[in-house]
Structure 1
Amino acid sequence: MTLRLYDESIGKMLMERNYPDTYYAKDGDIQECIIQLKPPYGNGFYHEICFENVHISFGNIALDNKLQLYFESDFDTVEMHFALKGKSAANSDNFGKTVQFDSYQHNIIYAHQMQGKMDFYGPDLHILEINLAPSFFKKFLPDYSGLFETFRNAIEKQQSSLINPHHSRISLEMYQILNDLMNCDRKGIFKRIYLEAKVSELLLLQMEQILHNDSSTSTLPKKDEEKIYAVRDYIANNLDASCSLNELAHQVGTNEFTLKKGFKELFGTTVFGFWNDTKMELAKKMLLDSDLNISEISDMIGYKNPRHFSAAFKKKYNVLPSKVGSKSF
């Protein structure tokens, strides 16, 4: 199994990777590789994590101009594709059409011995892809829906295809799992167990969304959508900050009404509901995985009084943070 990326404009091979036939040896090992990207191919990184039947890759890339690369692969794969930020377009005779992803979209793709070209658009490109061996993926594929059955037939006939003709919107639950995948700091077999569980959970959410024919389309203008997502990103990166709705709205160039309405429409929750849930999820992770005490965690997520943090945590999880070690979630 070989994947090649090359720049046809200068006749340069950028990457050639050889993978075992079932995506990596069946010995329980987990392999990782981080590539630092430099101009003219952008500034950023591309991180690969792989183990039996699963290949996870994600990257953050800053682009000054459109980047065009050609690709070739001699194997089959089912790809869970998540466009977190930026735009890309793939042209291949395998599909007979251009497959384009914009920010905040996802889909599942079956690719059979692909070749063609990819165009990437900046200024910032954030993507996450999970490639599964087709035989492994089919074990999870329901057999009672037209879309799923059509996709199964495409895999069996080795015809490249999208599971859903229309891309769906990345939900808030999916964002949390994507962040967990990208920020997992476990090692060895524990990391593999954790990642396998997260991949399965993410696949479940994708299939449920497809089954319910929920593309999560928005009535918001594109420019307002981008502002709402900018607020979500700000909150995720500044959990200890203290801002009013009006201040958040002004940061991204909108008003309080648009922010409240748009956030609820896109994510199904309020701005401060999301902020609180994200704080509590991070606090839970730190309580379980770090040696930080309650006062330190409280301070890190923006609570000046540890007692207020403990009360909020108990309201969320029905257990005091001091008792986390004696009660599993």
Structure 2
Amino acid sequence: MTLRLYDEKIGQTLIEKEYPDTFFLNDGDIRECITYLKPPYGSGFYHEICFGSVHIGFGNISLAHKLLLYFETDFDSVEMHFTLHGKSSAISENFQKTVSFESYQHNIIYAHHMRGKMEFDGSDMKLLEINLAPEFFKKFLPENSELFDIFRTAIEDQNSCLMAPDHHRISLEMYQILNDIMNCERKGTFKRIYLEAKVSELLLLQLEQFFKNESSKSSLIKRDEDKIYAIRDYILHNLHQTCSLIDLAHRFGTNEFTLKKGFKEVFGTTVFNFWNDTKMDQAKRLLLEGSLNISEISDRMGYKNPRHFSAAFKRKYNVIPSKIRN
């Protein structure tokens, strides 16, 4: 099975990989590789993990300009696609329309022997893709659903298609699992067991969201929904900051009511619960890594007094930070 990615303008092949047949077999091994993007295209990486019937790929890329690439594949795959940031479009003779993804969107794609071109737009691209062997994927597909039956038939007839006609928004639960996958530091068999569980959990959330369909759609207009996701990104990159709801709303051109209502609707929690939970999760990770002491972690999380940090940590995990480290 071969994947080829090339720049037709200058006649240069960027990636050409021969995936072994064991890519789709349950042989118990894990294979990993990292491909780096270099000038003149930009900078960044794409990390691939292969085992059994699963291929995970995720990357973070900064582009110097819009990038147009051509691609060819000679195998079938079901792809769980998540665009965390940036824009991309794919045109292929297998699809009747251009398939475009924007920030915070996901879908499931069945691709049969693809050939076409892709355009990446945006200075920063961040995505995660999980490719599954079609026969392996069908084991997880529920019965007695028109949507899932149509997708199952498309796989059997080898007709490339999308699971949902419209992309869905990545939920908070999905984000948490995506981060777990990208930051997994386990090795060997333990890593495989962990990632298999996370892939199954992520697929469950996707299928549930597709099944609910109408009830999962936000009542917010797209402009306000984009602001809610931008606020979430700001929090993730500024965990140490303290900011009122009014200041946070005004920073992104919205109001306190829309922020409170929209954040709860999109992510199922309040702004400050999300901020605190994310902060404590990061603190726990730093404690387990052991490279910083408790006072340094407290300072990094924005606490002026380590005792206040310890009290907040205990409320979250019912144990003080020093016990976690020990």
TM-score by length of 2: 0.89
CA contact (8 A) 1:168 1:215 kept: no
Supply the distance in 2 between the matched residues of 1:21 and 1:112 (Cα, whole angstroms).
Answer: 17
Aligned to 1:102: 102
CA contact (8 A) 1:168 1:214 kept: no
Q: Which residue of 2 aligns with 1:140?
A: 140
Contact 2:7 2:14 in 1 (8 A): yes
Q: 1:207 Cα deviation (Å)?
A: 0.8
Are 1:68 and 1:120, in contact at CA under 8 Å, matched by a contact in 2?
yes
SS at 1:16 equivalent: strand
Give the secondary-structure state (helix, strand or coil) at the position aligned to 1:127. strand
1:74-98 Cα deviation digits (max 9, x unpaired): 1011100001112211111212221
- Equivalent in the alignment of 2:118: 118
Q: C-alpha distance in 1, partners of 2:263/2:296? A: 30
CA distance in 1, matches of 2:294, 2:10: 56
Q: After superposition, where does 1:275-294 map in structure 2 within 5 Å? A: 275-287=275-287, 290=290, 294=294
Stretch of structure 1 that moved more, 299-308 or 27-36: 299-308
User: Does residue 182 in structure 1 map to residue 182 in structure 2?
Assistant: yes
Task: Show the counterpart of 1:206.
Answer: 206
Measure, in 1, the Cα distance between the counterparts of 2:42 and 2:308.
Answer: 44
Tell me whether 174-183 or 310-319 shows the greater mean CA deviation. 310-319
Alignment partner of 1:226: what SS? helix
Structure 2 residues without counterparts, runs of 5 or longer:
none
Q: Does 1:301 align with 2:301?
A: yes
- The structure-2 alpha-carbon separation of the partners of 1:300 and 1:128, relative to structure 1 and needing over 3 Å to count, comes to same
Q: Could you say which residue in structure 2 is the equivalent of 1:262?
A: 262
Deviations 1:223-275 (A, max 9, x none): 43333222211211222222222332343344434333332232222210110
Provide the residue aligned with 1:36 in structure 2.
36
8 A Cα contact 2:41 2:65, kept in partner = no
Structure 2 residue 75 is matched with structure 1 residue 91:
no
In 1, Cα distance between equivalents of 2:217 and 2:63? 28
Can you list the C-alpha shifts for 1:118-158, whole angstroms capped at 9, x where unaligned? Answer: 12111322111111111221221111312112212221222
The answer to whether the 8 A contact 2:54-2:133 is kept is yes
AA in 2 matched with 1:80: M
How much identity, in percent, do the aligned residues show? 72
Aligned to 1:76: 76
What whole-Å deviation, never above 9, does each CA across 1:102-125 have from its counterpart, x for those lacking one?
211101111111111112111322
Aligned-partner Cα distance in 2 for 1:44–1:126 = 10
Which range moved further: 97-106 or 262-271? Answer: 262-271
Code of the residue aligned with 2:115 in structure 1: it is: Q
Letter in 2 for 1:32: E
SS in 1 for 2:264: helix
CA distance in 2, matches of 1:272, 1:302: 14
Is 1:169 paired with 2:169? Answer: yes
Q: Distance in 2 between matches of 1:244 and 1:90?
A: 41
Alignment partner, residue 9 of structure 1: 9
Aligned pair count reads 326
Partner AA of 1:83 in structure 2 = T
TM-score w.r.t. the length of structure 1 is 0.89
Amino acid at match of 2:5: L
In structure 1, what is the Cα distance between the partners aligned to 2:193 and 2:309? 31
Assess if the C-alpha contact under 8 Å between 1:22 and 1:133 holds in 2.
no
**Cross-structure match for 1:21:** 21
- Residues 164 and 8 (structure 1 numbering): CA distance in 2 closer, same or farther, change over 3 Å? same
Task: Determine if the alignment matches structure 1 residue 63 to structure 2 residue 50.
Answer: no
- For the residues of structure 1 that align with 2:224 and 2:63, how far apart are their CA atoms? 23
Q: Aligned Cα RMSD in Å?
A: 2.5
> Does residue 251 of structure 1 match 2:251?
yes
Amino acid aligned to 1:164:
A
